[in-house]
Copies of this chain bind each other. A is one copy, B any other.
Amino acid sequence: MSYDFSAELASTAIDIQQALDALLSPHALRGPGDPPERLVAAMRHGSLNGGKRLRPLLLRQAAGVFGVPAGRTVQAGLAVEMIHCYSLVHDDLPAMDDDDLRRGQPTVHRAYDEATAILAGDTLLTHAFGVLAHDSLDADPAVRLRLVAELVAGAGAGGMSGGQMRDIEGETGFLTERAIARMQAMKTGALIRASVRMGGILGGASDEELCWLTDYAEAAGRAFQLADDILDVVASPEAMGKATGKDAGAGKQTIVARIGLEAARRQLGEVIHDALSAILPFGERAAGLRATARFFAERQS
């Protein structure tokens, strides 16, 4: 039976869209008080915007290695996606990357205002952990707690937000190729790594299996970022739904800027090979993860 990547990508996007739509409502977000409409609307604007939902896809595929049905991975994927969306909302802020467009739409602080965008990001981040804590996610409380710890590690000071800090710091200095790779491994790689590992945890992976998944995820995350840097140079703004050529314009330090386009493409081929090698022991059960690694190598947007 051949694996249908496009179908799984599309189905994951629909699942996550529906889950976001259900969660991001005044009723579902209720606490001691009623959520303000403006805040909920801004959270929706920052997340229900047609993202590809690659992190939930990876989580689902990693869980799929262990036979977990797709439906049982949606809540964990939702939590990861909320973290990803919060990070985009905050990264777009004037004090950070100062972007006006995201996927062809005004960024949250442009559609609303800065204060609302800061709060919308904070609140997506907060409720991501609420999703993980909920007993509908997995019957075993210990599994849910491991997912919380994994997501904190991926999103926190030694992961995504630390990587964003290093990226900002790097703008005023010169980073070596190695330092750029280290920064990107945190900024983009850590959440991809968390997604794959969370899928493994949901599937009851052994420590050894989790190591294989981690090796895969680190290589796949590297591939994703290399492809992103390459696309910023070669793709059209229309294909990307945001300004391109921006990295070079902003003096951003990317691998492409450091070693050139051809060498970056070669490196992309190498890390894809690493990703595929890491999951060889899973055989046919890892068809999904293999397809996504190849998708990262070939993506056009």
Give bound CA distance, A130 to B133, whole Å.
12
Give bound CA distance, A259 to B142, whole Å.
50
Report the count of interface residues on A (CB-CB < 8 A).
66
**A237 partner residues in chain B, CB cutoff 8 A:** none
Q: Contact: A29 with B157, CB < 8 Å?
A: yes
Pick from A31, A113, A119, A163 the residue with the most CB of B within 10 Å: A31
Of B29, B125, B132, B135, the contact of A125 (CB 8 Å cutoff): B125
Of B95, B125, B145, the contact of A126 (CB 8 Å cutoff): B125
Q: Contact: B95 with A153, CB < 8 Å?
A: no
Say whether A93 faces chain B, with CB atoms less than 8 Å apart.
yes
Interface residues of A in 83-135 (CB under 8 A from B): 86, 90, 93, 95-96, 113-116, 118-119, 121-123, 125-127, 129-130, 132-135
Of B96, B123, B161, the contact of A161 (CB 8 Å cutoff): B123
Q: Contact: B114 with A95, CB < 8 Å?
A: yes
Say whether A178 faces chain B, with CB atoms less than 8 Å apart.
no
Say whether A9 faces chain B, with CB atoms less than 8 Å apart.
no
Say whether A76 faces chain B, with CB atoms less than 8 Å apart.
no
**A14 partner residues in chain B, CB cutoff 8 A:** none
Pick from A35, A43, A169 the residue with the most CB of B within 10 Å: A35
Pick from A144, A149, A165, A186 the residue with the most CB of B within 10 Å: A165
Q: Contact: B118 with A162, CB < 8 Å?
A: no
**A193 partner residues in chain B, CB cutoff 8 A:** 32
A-B contact pairs, 18 of them (CB 8 A): A29-B162, A31-B190, A32-B154, A32-B158, A35-B156, A36-B165, A36-B166, A38-B169, A39-B162, A119-B164, A119-B168, A122-B125, A126-B152, A126-B156, A129-B129, A129-B148, A130-B148, A133-B146
- The 8 A-B pairs with the shortest beta carbon distances in the complex, nearest first, are A31-B158, A35-B157, A130-B152, A95-B114, A141-B141, A31-B159, A29-B157, A33-B186
